[in-house]
Amino acid sequence: MERAPTGVELLDKILEGGIPRPASVLISGDIGTNKNTFAQQILYRGLIEGEKAIYVTIDAFPEDLIRNMLKYGMDVREHVRRGDLVFIDGFSPRVGVESNSPYIIENPFDPNEVLKAIVIAEKEVFGTDMPCRLVISHISTMLFMATKPQILSFIERMHVEARKYNGVYILVYSEGVMNPYVENFIKQLPDVVITLKRDPETGRRSIAIMRCIRTRYPRNPFEYELTDKGIVIKEAKRLVY
Instruction: Tell me how far apart the alpha carbons of residues 159 and 167 are, in angstroms, rounded to a whole number.
Output: 9
> Can you list the pairs that 107-110 forms with residues at least 24 positions away whose Cβ atoms lie under 8 Å?
108/58, 108/141, 108/142, 109/141, 109/142, 109/144, 109/145, 109/146
The answer to the question of residue 241 being in a domain is no
The answer to the question of residue 73 being in a domain is yes
Contact 143, 150 (CB under 8 A): yes
The answer to the question of residue 240 being in a domain is no
Q: What is the mean pLDDT of residues 117-146?
A: 93
CATH classification at residue 119? 3.40.50.300
Q: Are strands 23-29 and 167-174 parallel, antiparallel or unpaired?
A: parallel
Instruction: Tell me how far apart the alpha carbons of residues 175 and 33 are, in angstroms, rounded to a whole number.
Output: 11
The answer to the question of residue 197 being in a domain is yes
The answer to the question of residue 159 being in a domain is yes
Q: Per-residue pLDDT for 238 more than 80? A: no
Contact 175, 26 (CB under 8 A): no
Where in the sequence is the domain holding 44, given as residue range(s)? 3-33+40-233
Q: What is the CA radius of gyration of the chain?
A: 17
| 101 Rama class: left (phi>0) / alpha (psi -120 to 50) / beta | beta
The answer to the question of residue 195 being in a domain is yes
The answer to the question of residue 203 being in a domain is yes
Q: Per-residue pLDDT for 240 more than 90? A: no
The answer to the question of residue 105 being in a domain is yes
The domain tally of the chain equals 1
pTM of the model: 0.96
Contact 88, 105 (CB under 8 A): yes
Q: Per-residue pLDDT for 224 more than 90? A: yes
Q: How confident is residue 239, by pLDDT bands cut at 50, 70 and 90?
A: confident
